[in-house]
Structure 1
Amino acid sequence: MNSPYLRDALALCQRIPQDAIALLARVSIASVFWLSGQTKVQGFVLNPLSGEVQLGWPRLSDSVVDLFREEYRLPLIDPTIAAVMAAAAEHVLPLLLLLGLATRFSALALLGMTAVIQLLVYPGAWPTHGTWAAVLLMLVASGAGRWSLDGWWTGRRAGRA
């Protein structure tokens, strides 16, 4: 079909800035992992969706180590260590994505976490994990875009060259 309406619609879609797509990808996937990280800690709550805020020193929630021991059952790693690593990663890496700082590294690390979850924890949840992987792969391949600290830094360095 080669109608003028279809061509116009395609031309309009092609005008969507890649920077806007990257920003939406960063914010969307960061929220998924941030909210998951929030379920693993107590004493520190920062939920922009509900508006709930409790600023304190974070510690593992009472049930999270049991969750890693009984449900997740990751091989080769102590459940307490796995819980601490997951809680830290699910807070630090999404924050980096929101800022657009070390975006490719952060997205790659979260992609690795997604692979572990898919392969070892919830193999039946591949539609969800596939969606996460697609967004993360886009960020690994394309970067954060200009609307990010990575983009600012790259532009600054290019100005010096």
Structure 2
Amino acid sequence: MSQLNARTKGRFEPLIRTALEQIQAFGRALAPPMLRIALALPFFRSGLTRWDGFLSISPATLFLFENQFKVHIFGGAYSFPSPDTVAFVVAIAEIALPVLLVLGFATRIVALALLVMTAVIQLVFPDGWANFHLYWASLAVGIMALGAGPLSLDRLINRWLYPGNG
């Protein structure tokens, strides 16, 4: 390397390093809420279709869980046990979990719950892996790894409970 190239590199290296650190800080702040919103949206949208008034499951949802949705496992297709109860629990989860996720409250636990829901959905719709479920699972695992991030209720609660931990 010539002396001119070494001097040029020496001048720009701190600038490049600072720029990369700023990009990383920007990503660390924005990635968690963006991941949370991206995972919450499909579940919330689905949850909105499940209801026919306050705490009243839609007839279409009941029909799906009673007649259409089957768990594909061990080479067979099996009905859900207590399909009306499962429909009610799923309908609540598809509304409550995305809201908690967007707020960043109990984020890792909520992401794990949505990962489990994705796994069950995969068993109901085995052909959905490449189109939807892989992405949902990836988002959930990413959220579980990164946590809620700085723009979240989890962070506020942590700062309130443990003031010295920042």
Q: Give the counterpart of 2:30 among 20, 31, 34.
A: 20
After superposition, the CA RMSD in angstroms is 2.0
Amino acid at match of 1:139: I
Q: CA deviation at 1:17?
A: 2.8
Provide closer, same or farther for how the CA distance between residues 100 and 59 of structure 1 changes in structure 2, counting only shifts above 3 A.
Answer: same
**Deviation digits for residues 101-135 of structure 1 (CA, Å, limit 9, x no counterpart):** 011111100100000111x2111110210000010
Percent identity over paired residues: 36
User: d(CA) in 2 for partners of 1:29 and 1:109?
Assistant: 12
| d(CA) in 1 for partners of 2:148, 2:25 | 18
For residues 73-121 of structure 1, the C-alpha deviation after alignment (integer angstroms, 9 at most, x for no partner) is 2445211011001000001111100111011111100100000111x21
Give the letter for the 1:59 counterpart: S
Matched, 1:59 2:56: yes
SS at match of 2:40: helix
Equivalent residue runs for 1:1-161 within 5 Å: 11=20, 13-43=23-53, 57-74=54-71, 75=78, 77-118=81-122, 120-127=123-130, 128-160=132-164
Deviation by residue 1:28-61 (Cα, 9 ceiling, x = unmatched)? 2111110000111122xxxxxxxxxxxxx23101
More helix by share: 2
How far apart are the structure 2 equivalents of 1:13 and 1:68?
46
Runs of 4+ in structure 1 deviating by more than 6 angstroms, as ranges, are none
Give structure 2 stretches of 5+ with no counterpart. Answer: 1-11, 72-77
Query: TM-score, with normalisation over the residues of structure 1?
Result: 0.79
CA distance in 1, matches of 2:142, 2:103: 17
How many residues get paired? 140
Cα deviation for residue 155 of structure 1 reads 2.1
Query: Quick one: distance in 2 between partners of 1:142 and 1:77?
Result: 35
Larger radius of gyration: 2
Q: Which runs of 5+ in 1 are unaligned?
A: 44-56
Q: CA deviation at 1:69?
A: 1.9
Aligned counterparts of 2:25 and 2:111: Cα–Cα separation in 1: 25
